[in-house]
Chains A and B, each alone.
Chain A
Amino acid sequence: MATQINNKALHTYLLRLADSSLTMGQRLAEWCGHGPYLEEDVALTNVSLDLIGHAQIFYQLAVALSDDSQTADDLAFLRDSHEYRNPIITELPKGDFAYTTLKQYFIDVFSVQLYQALSKSSYEPLSLAAQKALMEVKYHLKRSEAWVERLSLSTDEAKVRMQKALNDLWFYTPELFETDAALNELIEQGVIADLLALKTKWNEQVKTLLQRCQLEIPESGWVATGGLAGEHSEHLGYMLAEMQFLQRAYPGCEW
């Protein structure tokens, strides 16, 4: 290998991947037992299960890069919100089925494109993990895309709900492509995907569907930012308080 990979930067990026999958999976799990019908209950928990599995794999890659003795579970259950690296969109509340569906669709398009690109990473463990995750997120996308269309082109109520979801979510999406100096270095080395190129691809694909669904992209809003630097919304703290409760209340136990 010609250039030395910046391990610290790669570690942070692996956390970003893992934290994104975990927070998405955790939110989807809230639907378990409460889905709009049984088949969807099963589908939503299935996606959740895949995402938590991806999180575990990415945490394990981060563990392998690190000198300290932290485990994947330590990373998930013993870090506070300022140490989480996910973009804010993945920690947003589950909302109604329209909001969950559109959010999932945005992430699914992103994940398919991202893992396709990461499959070619020069860092082999990441390339292998991305190839595995890619097979699953392709199914997720098929499902969420079909639902976005089904809901948007059906009843008035569903359409209103989808438009509201789009208004509320749209300006959280640019953060998916955010980079910093350290990530740019990894991009240049071919270790991680070129996020700027992905942004163009993502916008093309998503806007085509939104247009077909007769949904209008809102003109302005607060453009989310900060997750990469550990700056999050108010929602993440509550999520972690719930998720980390046992590990915090009974430190050092085996479960």
Chain B
Amino acid sequence: MYSQGLTDAKGQEEPADLLAEFQAKIDREEKIEPRDWMPMAYRKTLIRQMSQHAHSEIVGQLPEGNWITRAPTLNRKMILLAKVQDEAGHGLYIYSATETLGVSRDQLTDELLTGKAKYSSIFNYPTPSWADMGAIGWLVDGAAIMNQVPLCRCSYGPYARSMVRICKEESFHQRQGYEIMTVLARGTQAQKDMAQRALNRTWWPSLMMFGPSDKNSTHSAQSMKWKIKRFSNDELRQKFIDATVPQAEHLGLTIPDPDLKWNEETGHYDHGEINWDELFQVIKGNGPCNKERLQARIDAHENGEWVREAAQTYQQKQNNQHNEAA
């Protein structure tokens, strides 16, 4: 349920002095806390962004969860399990942080399952080989870190604080992914090929994780002003490319972009055109695994219905007994 504050404010003009004080506070780099006054649009933007983030963590369990039962060694199995479990934990923190904005986890879950809410498009791609576990850790978690480190300084306190811990864990995830790739790249020809194919699959979708290019990004300018966002999509994407290309070279793998080359003048890598149509198709629901991923979440929710109901009934019975005894 949305809180009263949010419904009441619907359609009403927000007082100019409050708005000015709010912006001044942000400009002074002070955190906005749940009980503070905030413009409705700020609240809505955060609910949208934070819940998308939480959903991404939860749906993001699936492509890697896919390989836990097939991980090649006991250590790899344990590391992958711990990592995917971390993602569920991140989802939990961020749902909790979102609840401070006056929305319930049940409602957010409902929005995910009915397709109203979005999650990161990257999780709608398949993970057919073990090397995808390496590529996801290295590239997808790497891209996530680029996006999330600035969020540690986000103007909304609960979100910023949850990101501090999440970023620490993500950095461990990124390293374990790169380590998987390192072992494969130094392995047999079959393993190298496996690693190269995973890089080919994951490279472009990970660049798309930074969102549309700055010219087409609808939410960016206001979010920058509110210091929810600190860098533009294209800036973060460029940072990611610049950091990742040398890592690929170190592995002896080839990034699948013939236009990729170092530009002395700019001090950055130039890269080929991103297939934006593909990104918009995946966001629209037409990616290779959109239906499967959402269905897996719907199944988990529906199959768990009786368990949640049982737990609630049991709790009620306990409370009743307790009240009778009192």
A residues sitting closer than 8 Å to B (CB atoms) are 22, 26, 29-30, 32-42, 45-46, 48-49, 52-53, 55-56, 59, 72-73, 76-77, 96-97, 149-151, 153-155, 157-158, 161, 242-243, 245-247, 250, 253-255
Contacts and interface: CB of A to CB of B under 8 A. Distances in A.
A242 B69 CA distance: 7
B310 A150 contact: yes
A138 B3 CA distance: 41
Interface of B: 58, 61-62, 65, 68-78, 81-82, 84-85, 88-89, 91-92, 95, 130, 183, 186-188, 190-191, 296, 299-300, 303-311, 313-314, 317
B306 A158 contact: yes
A151 B68 CA distance: 28
A153 B314 CA distance: 6
Given A26-B69, A39-B92, A155-B306, 11 more contacts: A34-B299, A38-B88, A56-B75, A59-B74, A73-B74, A149-B314, A151-B314, A154-B317, A155-B309, A253-B191, A254-B183
B262 to A, nearest CB: 32
Contact of A37 (B84, B308, B313, B314): B308
A2 to B, nearest CB: 36
Contacts of A37: 304, 307-308
Q: Tell which of B91, B191, B304 has the most Cβ of chain A within 10 Å.
A: B304
A61 to B, nearest CB: 14
A30 B84 CA distance: 12
Q: Binding site of A, secondary structure by majority: helix, strand, loop or mixed?
A: helix
B313 A242 contact: no
A42 B88 contact: yes
A38 B92 contact: yes
B70 A243 contact: yes
A149 B314 CA distance: 9
A157 B310 CA distance: 8
Contacts of B62: 33
